[in-house]
Amino acid sequence: MENNITSSFKFELIHQSSKSKARVGRIHTPHGVIDTPSFVAVGTNATLKALDSHTADELGLQLMFCNTYHLMVQPGTELIKQAGGLHKFLNRKNPIITDSGGFQVFSLAQGDVKDELKSRSNKKHEGSVLKINEDGVLFRSYRDGNKILLTPETSIQAQKDLGADIIIPFDELPPYTISPRKLKASLDRTHRWEKRSLDEHKKNVNNQALYAVVHGGVDKQLRKESCEYLSTLDFDGFSIGGSLGKNHQELFELIDYVVPMLPYDKPNHLLGIGDLNSIEQCVTGGIDTMDCSHPTRAARHGALFTHEGELKLLNSRYKYDFSPIDPTCECTTCKNYSRAYIHHLFKAKEITALTLATHHNLHHMIQRMQRLRELILMDKI
Amino acid sequence: MENNITSSFKFELIHQSSKSKARVGRIHTPHGVIDTPSFVAVGTNATLKALDSHTADELGLQLMFCNTYHLMVQPGTELIKQAGGLHKFLNRKNPIITDSGGFQVFSLAQGDVKDELKSRSNKKHEGSVLKINEDGVLFRSYRDGNKILLTPETSIQAQKDLGADIIIPFDELPPYTISPRKLKASLDRTHRWEKRSLDEHKKNVNNQALYAVVHGGVDKQLRKESCEYLSTLDFDGFSIGGSLGKNHQELFELIDYVVPMLPYDKPNHLLGIGDLNSIEQCVTGGIDTMDCSHPTRAARHGALFTHEGELKLLNSRYKYDFSPIDPTCECTTCKNYSRAYIHHLFKAKEITALTLATHHNLHHMIQRMQRLRELILMDKI
C-alpha cells in the first residue's frame, strides 16, 4: 500500500479494522511520520495560539495546519520563503499542512455581504473581496490595504514559498444555502481550479504532497461526481471540504458516503472538524487526519478536556478543587497545577491560564488519538 | 555575618567589593538560596505574566514577588492557605516575597481622588478606599464589592496564610507631593504600623522573615530617622520604600544616602526598581535584591533586552532579520526563534509572542545579575 508519486511522501496502511472503516496508517513526509488517525492542530499564523513550536514538537503534535491566506497577508509568503520556509521560520521539526487560502477568502466574501447588510461598516483596510471570476479572486488585505490576487496558480506558488509537507489546491467555498444549479456550477469551477492547481504543482513538486479537495456540499450526486473526477487525477491524498452538513448527523452520513469513494491506498483528510464529540465517529468512518481549532480555542475559554468530556473550569465549583484537571493525565499542566490554581488564573485574566489550558487540551487530543489507534489495532472499534 | 532570628532564614555575606558598596551574598530561606545581588520578578497574581511557575523555576528565577492586595481580592488568602500556601498553590520550588498590600491600597486611594476629579466615574464594584485611620484602611474589593479591612495585623495574617519566605510590614504610601509636616506624620504612623506588624509576626514566625520598610520620601532627615528607628527593632532585613525620587539621579542619591545607614549584616531590598538602566548603579550602591515588573512588561510590549540595551522588536527593521534576539543568549527563545519570527508574532497579535519575549527578558535579567556578581567578586565594580 505505497504511494511514491513524490520522493518522500508515502502512505503506509498498517491495519484495517474488521469492525468499521477505521484504519491505522503512517504518512511518511520529508519532516517525519504522521501516525493516523491523527488530530491536526491549527496554527493559523505560523504558531499555535498560546503555545510555541518547540513545545508543540515536544508534546508530539505530528501535524500542524497553517493558513496560507493569513500568512500571505502577514508576514507575506515571500518573507517566509526567505526564512527558508515555514519549518525554519517557526522552527518546527514535525510535518505541516497548509490550505489554499480559498476557504478564508470566500468566508470573507460571504461575511462581507452580511456585514454590509447589517452595518455598512467601512473600516479602513477592512479585508474585502474585489472581484471573483474564472481566473480567481482579487481581494484587499485587511492589514495594509494592498490588493492580493489569489488564483490556483498564485495559491500553489504561495504554498511553494511556505514549503509545507502537504498542500491543498485552490477551491471555491459555496455558501451552505445555495441553489442546486449554482452548487453544480461552483463544483465544476472548483474542479477546473483543482486541475490548474495540480498542473502548477507538477511544474515544481518541491517534495510536497498535494491533496485534492472533494466538494459537492450535502448533495450526494455531486459528492460522487467530485470523488470520481478527482480520483482520475494524480493527487497524493484526498481531503473532504465544502459544506459538511448542518449537524453531526449530516456530517457522519456524509463521511460514510464519501470515504468509500476515495482511493483506498491514499490518505484522506477531513477539513475543519475535530471537536471532542466527533472524533471517534469520524475515525470509524475511515478518516485518517482531521484539523480543528476547537481543542485550542476551547482551552482559551476554560473548557478543559477529560475522559468524561469538557470540564468548564470557570465554574465556581472548581474554585477550591485542588486536584489536577485530569488525575490520569501526564501532561505538564496536570503534573504541576490544580484546577483551583488554573481557575484562579482565568479569573485573574492571566495569560498563563491560556498556555496551561492549551497545553493540556493538546496533550489530551494526542493521547486520545493514540488510544484510538490502539483500539483499531485490536479491532475494538 | 549571620542572622539567625528565624530558624531557616540566614544572610551570608560572601564578598564586599573594594571598589564600591556592591556586595555578593546568599540569602538562605526555607525554599532555598537567593544569590545576591538578585533581580526579583513580579508575579502579582501568583504567576508571572505569560510564564508559568515551572518554567520560572527552570530559568533559575530565585525570588518572585507576589502582591498580597491582589491575592486578598482574588482568589483570597484563605483559599491559598487551604491549598497549603503560595508555593504549593502556584507550584513554585524557589523563594517568594510578598508585600503588605499597603502600596496598592494607597495607590488606589490616590488614583481614586484623581479619577473622581476627572470623571466622577462610579463603576459597579470599582475598587475604592472607604476609610483610613490609625487602625488601618477599609476598602471595597474591585472584584465583588466586598469590604476588606487592611491593618498591620490583618496584612501580616494574610501573609501568614500566603506563607512566603519573606514578608513586609504594613506601611503608608504618602503621595510624592506632600507637605513636610504631613510627610513626618505619615512616617510616624508607618513606624507605629511596622511595630504592630512585627509584634503580630512574632506571635507566629512561621519560618518567615520580616523585612522593615524604610520611609521618609526624599527628605534626608526623615530617611535617617526611619533607618535609625527601624534598626532598633528585630527585623530580618530592610527594604527601601516610599517615594524614591522623581528620576534616576534622585534615586541613586537616595540609595547612596540610605544603604550605609542600614544594618550591614542584614539583607536589604529595593522596592519596585529594576529597570535595565538602574540595576548596575543600584548594585554598586549596595542593594542586595530589587523587584520590578519592567522586564516582563517591556517584553509584552516588544522591548527585548540585549547587552546593547532594549531592542524594539516591533520596528520594521526587524521584519526580515532572521538572527536571534541576542546571538550570545542561551535562552530557549534565542536558541529556537528569530527576530523576524517574533516580530511577526507580535504583528499577528499572537499570545506566543508574549511568552517568548518574557522568557528571553527574564533569562537576560538572571544572566545579567549573575555577571554582576562575578564582577563584584573580582572587585571590578
Position B146 pLDDT exceeds 90: no
pLDDT band, residue B1 (cuts 50/70/90): very low
Clarify whether A144 is annotated catalytic: no
CA distance B102 to chain A (A): 20
CB contact under 8 A, B348 and A74: yes
Is residue B28 domain-shared with residue B146, that is, in the same domain? yes
Enter the C-alpha cell of residue B261: 545607614
The predicted-structure confidence for B269-278, as pLDDT tens digits, reads as follows 999 998 888 9
- On whether both B287 and B335 belong to a single domain, the answer is no
Close Cβ partners of B132 (under 8 Å, ≥ 6 residues apart): B109, B138
C-alpha to C-alpha distances, A233 to A172, A191, A211, nearest whole angstrom: 18, 10, 11
- Are the Cβ atoms of A340 and B75 closer than 8 angstroms? yes
Would you say residue A348 lies in a domain?
Answer: yes
- The answer, yes or no, to whether ipTM is higher than 0.85 is yes
Distances (CA, A) of B367 to A296, B29, B95, B337: 34, 21, 18, 19
Among the partner-chain residues B83, B332, B348, the one whose CB lies closest to the CB of A322 is B83
Distance from CA of A45 to the nearest CA of B (A): 7
| Neighboring chain B residues of A58 at a CB cutoff of 8 Å | none
Residue written as grid cell 470515504: A259
Based on the fold, state whether residues B235 and B305 are members of the same structural domain. Answer: no
Q: Write b or e for each residue in A337-360: b if 16 or more Cβ atoms lie within 10 A of its Cβ, otherwise e.
A: bbbbbbbbbbbbebbbbbbbbbbb
Instruction: Tell if the CB–CB gap between A344 and B319 is shorter than 8 Å.
Output: no
* A131 belongs to a structural domain: no
pLDDT digits (tens, 9 = 90+) for A281-330: 999 999 999 999 999 999 999 999 999 999 999 999 999 999 999 999 99
* Burial class for A4, CB neighbours closer than 10 Å (0-12, 13-18, 19+): exposed
Q: Are residues A165 and A40 in the same domain?
A: yes
Task: Give the Cα-Cα-Cα angle A284, A238, A203 (nearest 5 degrees).
Answer: 160
Do the chains contact at A355 and B79, CB–CB below 8 Å? no
User: Which of B270, B292, B314 is the last residue before a domain boundary?
Assistant: B292
Q: Is residue B4 part of a domain?
A: no
Q: Are residues A229 and A311 in the same domain?
A: no
Residue B154 sits in a domain of what CATH number?
Answer: 3.20.20.105
CA A281/CA A279 separation, integer angstroms: 6
Q: Are residues B225 and B358 in the same domain?
A: no
Q: Do A268 and A312 belong to one domain?
A: no
Tell whether A32 lies on the interface with B, counting CB pairs under 8 A. no
Q: Answer yes or no: is pLDDT of A2 > 60.
A: no
With beta carbons under 8 A apart, name residues in chain A contacting B343. 75
Shortest Cα distance, chain B CAs vs residue A233, angstroms? 37
| pTM for the whole structure | 0.94
- Is A301 contained in some domain? no
Burial class (CB in 10 A: 0-12, 13-18, 19+), A375: middle
Domain count of chain A?
Answer: 2
Residues A276 and A189 in one domain: yes
What mean pLDDT value characterizes chain A? 93
Q: Is residue A246 included in any domain, yes or no?
A: yes
Q: Are B156 and B207 found together in one domain?
A: yes
Residue A347 to residue B74, Cβ atoms within 8 A: yes
Chain A environment of B79 (Cβ under 8 Å):
319-320, 340, 344
Is B161 noted as a catalytic residue in this protein?
Answer: no
Q: What's residue A116's pLDDT? A: 38
Cross-chain residue pair B355–A54, CB shorter than 8 Å: no
Centre a 10 Å sphere on the Cβ of residue A174 and count the other Cβ atoms it contains.
23
Single out the catalytic residue among B165, B171, B236, B291. B291
A7-42 pLDDT per residue, tens: 689 999 999 999 999 999 999 999 999 999 999 999
Residue A107 lies in a domain: no
Domain annotation covers residue A126: no
Q: Examine the domain organization and report whether B308 and B288 are in the same domain.
A: no
Query: Is residue B2 situated within a structural domain?
Result: no
Question: Would you say A164 and A86 are in contact if contact means Cβ atoms under 8 Å apart?
Answer: yes
- A230 plus A338 within the same structural domain: no
Domain boundary among B236, B264, B292: B292
Take residue B22 and report the three cell numbers written for it. 556592591
Considering the domain architecture, whether residues A280 and A353 belong to the same structural domain is answered as: no
Residue A326's domain comprises 307-365
Q: Which residues of B108-122 are buried (b: 16+ CB within 10 A; e: fewer)?
A: bbeebeebeeeeeee
Pick from A295, A277, A279: which is nearest to A287 by CA?
A: A279
